[in-house]
A and B are shown apart, each in its own frame.
Chain A
Amino acid sequence: MNAHHLYVHLPFCSHRCGYCDFVTVTGHEGDHGGYVDALLGELELERGLLSDEVDTIFLGGGTPTFTEPAALARLLAGLPRAAETTVEANPETVTPGLAALLREHGVNRVSLGAQSFQPHLLETLERRARPEDVRGAVHTLRDAGFDNVSLDLIYGIPGQSVGDLERDLAEALALEPEHLSCYELEAKPGTRFTHAHGEELERQANAMEGYFERVVETLTGAGYRWYETANFCRFDDERDGDRDLRSGHNLGYWLGHDYLGIGVGAVSTVAGMRWRNAPSLPRYLASLRRGERPQRELEPLAADVRARERVLLGLRLDEPLSTAGLNGALDHDALARLQRLGLADVRDGGATLALTRRGRFLGGGVTAELLV
């Protein structure tokens, strides 16, 4: 079984935002070319794990669009063709030149890290983009012919009010993106961000349930499909016909498909084995320069673990989860209890399982209860 999904990690950023916990690297502009060499080297080494027919490719970061254009172009040229190729971009990096470069190299979906349209919130998040950069980036992409643009929004930002959130949602909707991801701010304990905003984060945490409801209500009210806990896609027959605007790549994760990840810190899951490349950039580069695989942390996934993951991922989606092969992972007493509480729903004579609308708002806790 070979993977149909490829993830490529580009760690470079102009600046590390205070709340960020991804593998990122600043101040290594000179290494972009070398890093792309290493990526293509790793891809070559793992080519056998990848299906001849790749469905989706996702370039994540970091800020992939911060990568030197020539290096980025060389990388894109070296990747296989796929039905969906997504690149993550920060609004301020999206120029007509970049948009054209992406188009030329087969990128057909861009995920914009907008986060907010309020200047004071962007500042708190240490984002470089201004609100007009976000709007400008969308227009630039549209002009370049992109018909699949996603926006990321964050809520629960220190200093944010319900009004701020409503304005952010309205601004985002006004841009008519095909897709929206809305995340609550996860401030990791011990980070400088948490340290700086402790009390206000506490206040935001208490408001979070209200924000979440507001997000779901507003976006579904605007005709978007709440297809995953934090993800929404446009759902308009007249306009989009039968286009499925869900993120095909991420859907792969949520449906429990195998995926190959390349790059520093990248994670792969193929044929019951998961591994994570070591997060050190110099070591990653050194290994690949020697033509060797990077250092990795291996995690064999036993059948029961995979079954639990299928449940935890699958229940994030709005479509019912097929329970075939998953009964061993489910606590049936808990399921009966959750059904009584109107949080879970068994359909098709037990063949599928879905959460109710209220159940989805409580999806994490419900899943914890459901798992054996």
Chain B
Amino acid sequence: MDQAKIRNFSIIAHIDHGKSTLADRILQVTDTVADRDMKEQLLDSMELERERGITIKAQAVRVLWRGHQLNLIDTPGHVDFTYEVSRSLQACEGALLVVDAAQGIEAQTLANAYLAIENNLEIVPIVNKIDLPQADPDGAAAEVADLVGDDPERVLRISAKTGQGVEDVLDAIIERIPAPTGDAAAPARALIFDSSYDQYRGVVAFVRVVDGRFETGEPLRAMAQGTRFEAEELGFLTPDRRPVKTLEAGEVGYVITGLKDVSKLGVGDTLTSEKRPAKEPLPGYKEVKPMVFAGLFPTDSDAYPELRDALERLKLNDGALFYEPETSQALGFGFRCGFLGLLHMEIVRERLEREFDLDLIVTAPNVAYRVRPRPGADWVEVHNPSDMPTEIDEVEEPYIKASIIVPKEYVGAVMELCNDRRGTFDHMEYLSEERVHLVYELPLGEIVLDFYDQLKSRTRGYASFDYDMAGFKPGHLVRVDVLVAGEPVDALSLIIHREFAYDRGKLLVERLRKEIPRQFFDVAIQAAIGARIIARETVKAKRKDVLAKCYGGDISRKRKLLEKQKKGKKRMKQVGGVEVPQEAFLAVLNLDDRK
């Protein structure tokens, strides 16, 4: 199709501000999906996405409107997927910025709007839910117009729910968003903005063709990763797959690759034709690296193979998920998993429990650290506190730039929280008379435990929060080990700012003292930084452990009692000759003093 008749766009919105409803309505108004086939929120195909009202995996749908081909590229709606969002936006020339008429701008809207502006996208501002009784369309329109530097009069006011104004949105897409301007004659280049795994046909890549054209059956190559494959099928989504012979400059569609490993086709990579390859890939590719790590262990150690299979299957569809086997003396066999962020972790965990019926123990999450053991030595990345070298010359931890929007009366509470978490104030601005946008730089390690919960509770749920990775910075970090009867307990090691080490160590050993049952001998529980003990507690030895009486009538019962006791002992983990019930580790892993 002539590029002048093509428009590629995304929808940017905060959770629940109506992105999916608007997308559904667009499919209906353009007769792409017959009314009778309309499921609510068609684009969110995973059950979990629907429940949480967020889109985890983006997809792209083609609709026709007044002689034009409109491609709606859906974006993942959460902070953990910022990079994927940016690639989806790169595949577009414009974006619909949807804001709830009652809620106004939220942190997530802001983050994605800035991303869109950075990508030079034409933004079509929209205020949605104008049918709601508490709606303030003018207020919301003023905020949005201010954000994108547009005239409030140009902000569309719609109700995706009732369909009011949706046709105007489609018209505005054609009128305001520029057509693609790729070189149709140049060697073929397409941006991969998403991929998924089809169990029959392998990896399916979703692409935006920038230059040239792709043909079914021709050999292709992903330029950054060097992956080669044949285009088994090309096509577009309506949202069903519609195969076509060619995908041309400006168009959006899918490529069935037959590849078995989704991580071989990274989001952001450039596809080109092997016959006439492009010289340069499209800009902006980077490898997505997990930033948050946690150990996943099956509650029942027999379920280890099932956990492994489940992770393998999730990984097929989730190139960002990282995992490797981990053995913990406390928790047995499991996996150390890496995630883009906390939501990603939560989603993976929920899917494992729900779709694969696994009971999991998840250790306290930690971030990736960069460590240089000696001056001049190579930097190494550490994903597990117990792997942190004891000898450290320099250590760096990841920082984020946090964007928090709150009603002004909570500014003090938020600042206090951010300061407690080693945050550095960046700046603050008033979005309106009532609402303030705060920007802080914070160590990611301070966020992974419960920052978001704390933020919600200290602002009565009014705060919205988003963040961007802001690189690694040196930190005064120490590794605190917990020793039971002189032996370190790997699952309880933690990396923490020197300033918090003493309190945290003390709290850990106190809690552990309460959780570890009394043994036949005194058990020392210590917290240590290297060889230096910073806290100590003792579980006093048991002085009595007998079966009160045992005569002819109850030998069987007493025997069974002891056999049961023996079995219980076998299930307990041995640390330094001390029997520690798994629950003790769990209680300590869930430790949080800052509630």
Contacts and interface: CB of A to CB of B under 8 A. Distances in A.
A363 B565 contact: no
A364 B552 contact: no
Given A312-B562, A365-B520, A365-B565, A274 B556 contact: yes
B313 interface: no
Contact of A230 (B545, B548, B577): B548
A253 B552 contact: yes
A343 interface: yes
Nearest to B579: A369
Interface in A1-46: 7, 22
Contact of A213 (B520, B544, B551, B552): B544
Nearest to B521: A341
B542 A365 contact: yes
Interface in B553-585: 553-556, 558-559, 562-563, 565-566, 569, 577
A236 interface: no
Interface string B522-539: 000000000000000000
A209 B543 contact: yes
Contact of A365 (B545, B552, B555, B563): B545
A36 B566 CA distance: 42
B553 A368 contact: no
Contacts of B569: 368-369
B28 to A, nearest CB: 63
A259 B546 contact: no
B377 interface: no
A308 B565 CA distance: 14
A316 B556 contact: no
Contact of B546 (A22, A265, A276, A362): A362
A363 B559 CA distance: 13
A230 B558 CA distance: 15
A276 B557 CA distance: 12
B326 to A, nearest CB: 27
A230 B549 contact: yes
- Determine which residue in A261, A274, A364 has the highest number of CB atoms from chain B within 10 A of its CB, and name it: A364
A338 B577 CA distance: 11
A196 interface: no
B550 interface: yes
Contact of B548 (A184, A213, A299, A313): A184
Given A230-B549, A365-B520, A208 B544 contact: yes
A366 interface: yes
B185 interface: no
B575 to A, nearest CB: 14
A337 B448 CA distance: 42
Contacts of A341: 520-521
Contact of A259 (B521, B542, B552): B552
Contacts of A261: 552-553
A186 interface: yes
Contacts of B554: 267
Interface in B452-495: none
B544 A212 contact: yes
B334 to A, nearest CB: 26
B308 to A, nearest CB: 31
A364 B553 contact: no
A313 B550 contact: yes
A261 B535 CA distance: 58
Contacts of B553: 7, 22, 261, 265-267, 276
A229 interface: yes
A36 to B, nearest CB: 20
A359 to B, nearest CB: 9
- Determine which residue in A186, A210, A253, A265 has the highest number of CB atoms from chain B within 10 A of its CB, and name it: A253
B589 to A, nearest CB: 27
Contact of B556 (A209, A265, A299, A368): A299
Contacts of B520: 338, 341, 343, 362, 365-366
A183 B556 contact: no
B546 A361 contact: yes
A368 B556 CA distance: 14
B544 A361 contact: yes
A366 B545 contact: yes
A309 interface: yes
Nearest to A267: B553
A184 B553 CA distance: 18
- Determine which residue in B556, B558, B563, B569 has the highest number of CB atoms from chain A within 10 A of its CB, and name it: B556
B555 A269 contact: yes
A229 B547 contact: yes
Contacts of B558: 312
Interface string A257-275: 0010100011101000010
B208 to A, nearest CB: 65
Given A183-B549, A316-B550, A362 B544 contact: yes
A362 B550 contact: no
Nearest to A360: B546
Given A213-B544, A253-B555, A361-B544, A368 B549 contact: no
B543 A371 contact: no
Interface in A314-351: 316, 337-338, 341, 343
A85 interface: no
A295 to B, nearest CB: 17
B546 A212 contact: yes
Contacts of B547: 229, 363-364
Interface string A194-224: 0000000000000011101100000000000
B546 A229 contact: yes
A118 interface: no
A219 B563 CA distance: 31
A7 B562 contact: no
A369 B555 contact: no
Contacts of A308: 559, 562-563
Contacts of A7: 552-553
Nearest to A363: B546
A361 B545 contact: yes
B562 A364 contact: yes
A368 B521 contact: no
Given A230-B548, A316-B550, A361 B543 contact: yes
Contacts of B559: 305, 308-309, 312
A341 B579 CA distance: 15
A250 B562 CA distance: 20
A367 interface: yes
Contacts of A266: 553
B547 to A, nearest CB: 5
A350 B549 CA distance: 28
Interface string A293-310: 000000100000100110
Contacts of A338: 520
Nearest to B562: A368
A313 B554 CA distance: 11
Contacts of A253: 550-552, 555
Contacts of B551: 250, 253
Nearest to A22: B553
- Determine which residue in B555, B563, B569, B577 has the highest number of CB atoms from chain A within 10 A of its CB, and name it: B555
Interface string A164-189: 00000000000000000101101000
A239 B544 CA distance: 32
A314 to B, nearest CB: 11
A137 B293 CA distance: 74
Interface of B: 520-521, 542-556, 558-559, 562-563, 565-566, 569, 577
6 contacts: A212-B546, A230-B546, A274-B555, A364-B547, A364-B562, A364-B565
Interface of A: 7, 22, 181, 183-184, 186, 208-210, 212-213, 229-230, 250, 253-254, 259, 261, 265-267, 269, 274, 276, 299, 305, 308-309, 312-313, 316, 337-338, 341, 343, 360-369, 371
Given A212-B544, A362-B520, 10 more contacts: A186-B548, A229-B547, A229-B549, A259-B552, A261-B552, A312-B562, A361-B546, A362-B542, A362-B543, A364-B546
Would you list the 8 A-B pairs with minimal beta carbon distance, nearest first? A365-B545, A209-B544, A368-B565, A209-B543, A362-B545, A364-B546, A368-B562, A267-B553
